[in-house]
Structure 1
Amino acid sequence: MTTTRRVTWAEANARRIGRQHLAAPASAKGSSPAAITGAILGAHAQVLSAAELSIALRLAGSTRADVREALWTDGTLVKTYGPRGTVHLLPAVDLPLWTGALSAIPAGPNPMPPASRMTDEQTEEVLTAIGDVLAETALTVDELTDAIVERTGPWAGERVMEAFQDLWPRWRQVTHRAAHRGVLCFGPNRGRKVTYTNPHHALPGFTPMDGAAAHTELVRRYLHAYGPATPQHFARWLAAPGTWAAELFASLAEQGEIEDVLFEDAPGWVVAGDTDFADGPVRGVRLLPYFDAFAIASQPRDLLFPGRAEERALAGGQAGNFPVLLVDGTVAGVWHQRRSGRRIAVTVEPIAPGTLTPARLRALEEQAERVGEVLEGRAELTVGEVTVGPHA
């Protein structure tokens, strides 16, 4: 008779932190920005400097310049729309996996007002136009709008999409879908203007994976990095339908790809055979930037953000809106950095009095210094109240 493996939070958290290269940074000789980004399943890059910090903090001796080189010079990283339809840095080598998986997730209800929506036929027209016009060049949003309108009609350029106190052209509601189809990604900025291009420039012959195979591989990678986890956790991480995720996990369990464990006495899943866990608890102090992958994907939230951490470090229940202080593997504060020339003022606010013992304060000083190195500046640490609100 097989006994179901029991996994505690301390065991799961220790393994996750180790696999996230947060227990100790990876060696620069044995890893790379692209490898780190693959290990954490993408770096949220709506604020690009936060993604650079997320990646470089996990790679010994690395700075933001190394991440930028991987993105804009070597082409080993791609800036595109990833999980949750948000801007991410992803390894270029994994783009077939991501596009195959994301393009095959069932679409939820259309959130756009009826008068702003596009028909299925119009959507396909726009996606085809995007692929065609970006095939040989990089275009700004305005240039891409003009090119799409020329190929489809004035309806595509009508400013009906509310966004950031502005009205955007109708076609932009499918920007993330174009990325998931593999016909759009970000190009280098032109001055202060964003450009879009076609990922086939960096990956000639690139083709999205078969959807079913991509979903299997993505679940395996997710559980390797963040397991044990439930289908609901996976669905929340992707912003995918919960019923679809539950059916996917059930199918993979039947195929023997994943197996169940008891995680804090509740059902959870890991990759089949991946049931070795390090002894907890985690020790150490870490500073994680906005939307760090560990803070977003690690579940359950009430254990990662215990007690008052939930109120102080989560914005309406959403992780990532505050940079967080990790102490012994759980969120114990928030922080903020402000740059002036080479000077980087780092303010850290512990949630509970007495959190920063002398030893932890020394470790925090080292972390702040490392943040300064990554950002190619000089950090100055202050322990006190963070008055900046959550990032919108």
Structure 2
Amino acid sequence: MTTTVGITWEAASARRAERQFLAGPAGTGTPVDEVVGAMLGAHAQVISAAEVSVGMRADGVTRADVRAALWDDRSLIKTYGPRGTVHLLPARELPLFSAALTAVPTGPGGFPPDVRLTEEQAGQVVTAIGEALDGRCLTLDELSEEVVARTGPWAGDRVMPAFQDLWPRWRQVVHRAGWAGSLCFGPNRGRKATYTRPAYGVPGAEAGDEGGDALSAFVHRYLHAYGPATPQHFARWLAAPPGWATALFGRLAAAGRIEEVRFEGTPAWVAAGDTDFPDGPARGVRLLPYFDAYVVAGQPRERLFPGKAYQRALGGGQAGNYPVLLVDGVVAGVWHQRRRGRRTTVTVEPLVRLTARQERELGEQAERVGEVLEATAELVVGEVTVGPHA
């Protein structure tokens, strides 16, 4: 390892891969929540994608292990994380995430004025959600009834456009309830999702005030996993105002908590003193699922998605729409898996010519996808004909 303040893309991507168990998987017996913590959360809007994100980073881990961590020993929690999207987070780190995410400024949202909640109403809804879920699990319909009863009919007005339907007004801030520690997902009741309050059945997950240092600790964690990075990169990862992120980085720099480096010749930031990087680039072939943390948070995008990958694997500049093939730390293809019973077909569309070694590694990765999903995998190399989110 060398110490330098002039950092190349190759060195940065190699360190990110090391710190997120992509250079080599976590050893057998590594706690699942430790793997998720290294990623700063696993995107879980589609739970099978989260299971693959975690499983591809840890030897021997399958979807059953992820589910056991979530529902049995409760070391993981399913709730709303960065960008207001559903994530798996380590339960022990919920207080930090809660304190940091609730400190991010929220704008009026994209809804018309007659649809929006006022800040006062939003606060009432978040409080009502926490009260309704205290000590019990409720379906969405049951929670909706409780929220309206505790606030007023205005909360239940079906005015919020969503998925070719209209949702009740209160659902605009369900993610903020997750950030505040008032709500998380509970076990499904049949085919219906349930919600509960995190402290219920999740030891150590009562959200608390981490004090004024929460944002500093959160930025430090982000830079450890994804640095070097700019305030704009951080803001994009959080869906936060860029000006706010710039001011935050300025305060942390003045306090000596972060330091400026040259990343591919431009200013960027790392945690103070964290300037050791690998001498060589990332090596190896990896298959990552939808919205994997490495590709969503990795910046700059034009480096992570070089050449054809920028058009093929991004949707309007948004990372995560396609599962991706990584070759030596950069996106070099897309893939898709289709399960039938106990078998799954993994179709991979490389955008570069693979060496014989890389082809062998690709076969091993496809086999590993099957193991994580508790299925037997068949690898097909060819065009992926399905669209994003398929």
1:123 and 1:174 in contact (8 A); partners too: yes
Contact 1:103-1:211 within 8 A present in 2 as well: no
Distance in structure 2 (CA, Å) of the matches to 1:203 and 1:245 = 32
Do the aligned residues in 2 keep the contact of 1:101 with 1:212 (CA within 8 Å)? no
Query: Are 1:101 and 1:211, in contact at CA under 8 Å, matched by a contact in 2?
Result: no
Do structure 1's residue 88 and structure 2's residue 87 form an aligned pair? yes
Alignment of 1:204-219 (within 5 A): 206-210=206-210, 212-219=212-219
SS of equivalent residue, structure 2 residue 299: coil
Distance of 2:151 and 2:226 partners within structure 1 = 43
After TM superposition, give the deviation of residue 28 of structure 1 in Å: 2.2
User: 1:381 aligns to what?
Assistant: 379
Q: For each residue in 1:255-283, what CA deviation from the matched residue of structure 2 results, as whole angstroms up to 9, or x when unmatched?
A: 11111110000001111111110012221
Distance in 2 (alpha carbons) for counterparts of 1:338 and 1:4: 45
Looking at structure 2, the residues matched to 326 and 373 of structure 1 have their Cα atoms a distance apart, in angstroms, of 19
In 2, are the aligned partners of 1:261 and 1:268 still within 8 Å (CA)?
A: yes
Unaligned 5+ runs, structure 2: none
Q: TM-score, normalised by structure 1?
A: 0.96
2:359 is aligned to 361
Higher mean displacement: 273-282 or 94-103: 273-282
Distance 1:95 1:69 in 2: 18
Shift of 1:208: 2.5
For residues 47 and 256 of structure 2, the distance between their equivalents in structure 1, rounded to whole angstroms, comes to 39
1:213 Cα deviation (Å)? 1.3
Contact 2:325 2:333 in 1 (8 A): yes
- Report if the CA contact (8 A) 1:231-1:245 is conserved: yes
Question: What is residue 230 of structure 1 aligned with on the other side?
Answer: 230
- Deviation track 1:239-259 (CA, whole Å, cap 9, x = no partner) reads 001011111111111111111
Number of aligned residue pairs: give it. Answer: 387
Distance 1:205 1:368, change over 3 A: closer
How far off is 1:211 after superposition?
5.5
Equivalent residue, structure 2, for 1:284: 284
Matching residue of 1:45:
44
| CA distance in 1 between partners of 2:123 and 2:60 (Å) | 45
d(CA) in 2 for partners of 1:121 and 1:266? Answer: 42
Alpha-carbon separation, structure 1, partners of 2:142 and 2:42: 28
Using the alignment, how far apart are the partners of 2:205 and 2:364 within structure 1?
A: 45
Contact 1:237 1:297 in 2 (8 A): yes
Aligned residue number for residue 270 of structure 2 = 270
Q: Matched residues in 2 for 1:285 and 1:205: separation?
A: 36
Contact 2:5 2:262 in 1 (8 A): yes
Distance 2:121 2:188 in 1: 28
SS at 1:361's partner residue?
Answer: helix
Deviations 1:130-158 (A, max 9, x none): 11110010000000011111222221111
Deviation at 1:205, TM superposition (A): 7.5
Change (3 A) 1:125 1:274: same
Aligned 1:14-163 pairs, distance under 5 A: 14-29=14-29, 31-163=30-162
Secondary structure of the residue aligned to 1:148 is helix
CA contact (8 A) 1:34 1:76 kept: yes
Q: What is the TM-score with the length of structure 2 in the denominator?
A: 0.97
- The whole-number CA distance in structure 2 between the counterparts of 1:122 and 1:162 is 19
Partner residue of 1:331? 331
Do the aligned residues in 2 keep the contact of 1:108 with 1:240 (CA within 8 Å)? Answer: no
1:97 Cα deviation after fit:
0.3
User: Partner amino acid for 2:380?
Assistant: T
Aligned-partner Cα distance in 1 for 2:176–2:232: 23
Q: Distance in 2 between matches of 1:205 and 1:89?
A: 13
Q: Distance in 2 between matches of 1:12 and 1:205?
A: 33
C-alpha distance in 1 between matches for 2:95 and 2:212: 13
Q: What is the rounded CA distance, in whole Å, between the counterparts of 1:128 and 1:277 in structure 2? A: 45
Percent identity, aligned pairs only? 65
User: Could you report, residue by residue, the CA deviation over 1:213-232 in whole angstroms, capped at 9, with x for unpaired residues?
Assistant: 11100100000001100000
- Give the Cα separation in 1 of the matches to 2:384 and 2:239: 30
Q: CA deviation at 1:358?
A: 1.8
Distance 1:145-1:176 versus aligned 2 partners, 3 A rule = same
